[in-house]
A = this chain, B = another copy of it.
Amino acid sequence: MRQIIEERTGSFSRSPQLVEAPAANLRVAAHTTVLHEGDPARRIMEVVEGAVMLTKLLPDGRRQVVELLGPGDVFGLAHDEAYACSAETLTPSVISTHERSALERDPVLAARLLRRFEAQLCVMHSHALVLGRMSALERVAFFLLRLMPEGMVGGATLHLSMTRQEIADFLGLTLETVSRAFSELKRRGLVALLRADEVRIQDRGSMRRLAGAA
């Protein structure tokens, strides 16, 4: 299941003494596991391009997608020197990595990560509200709005790069419930489904109301 990471860091690659270069960049294919929950946490990473999901597992196999990341977002966080989540690309991505010790030496990097952590923490707070207090329909509406950049006009269609199972694991639902929610949103005319992974938001106002105007 683990796929190979395609590494293209140019002249910096594979030189241990160059880990503190501004950024060691990795180009990674879609559906690649970049790091594994529990592995020793040596490096901290930023998404440069693409989309990455962070997941956690329960001993019995239940999975939660805890965070969806886009350009600028940071991952590879450590709890007790080990990665707290697995990270998997959803699309072809570019990821830059830093030695953890660079945080202390590089104030510019530290300042950037600080700002980003604050933003990600706020997003997690919203997600706790979604997971703890919203119905299935509301969760899916919230999810679609979150993926749809503000400036996106009505005509544009959104490509979901996640399966129903991945969306379900993100929203704390089952894949069947997610599918039913999509169908219900379609039935109500709030979204149009061109294909299973091509969505268009038809009635943004109603969607916002469903998602709690968040």
Contact = CB atoms under 8 A, between A and B. Distances in A.
B133 A63 contact: yes
A169 to B, nearest CB: 8
Nearest to A76: B118
Interface in A37-65: 54, 56, 58-60, 62-64
A35 interface: no
A212 interface: yes
Nearest to A124: B124
Interface stretch (A25-33, A108-116, A178-186, A193-201): A108-116
Interface of A: 54, 56, 58-60, 62-64, 66-67, 77-79, 84-85, 103-104, 107, 110-111, 113-114, 117-122, 124-129, 131-134, 169-172, 212-213
**Which A-B residue pairs are the 3 nearest by beta carbons?**
A132-B172, A131-B131, A117-B117
A64 B128 contact: yes
Contacts of A59: 212-213
How many identical subunits does the complex contain? 2
Nearest to A113: B114
Given A107-B107, A110-B110, A131-B131, A125 B172 contact: no
A124 B56 CA distance: 12
Contacts of A85: 125
A128 B125 contact: no
A79 B126 CA distance: 11
B128 A124 contact: yes
A66 B128 contact: yes
Contacts of A78: 118, 122
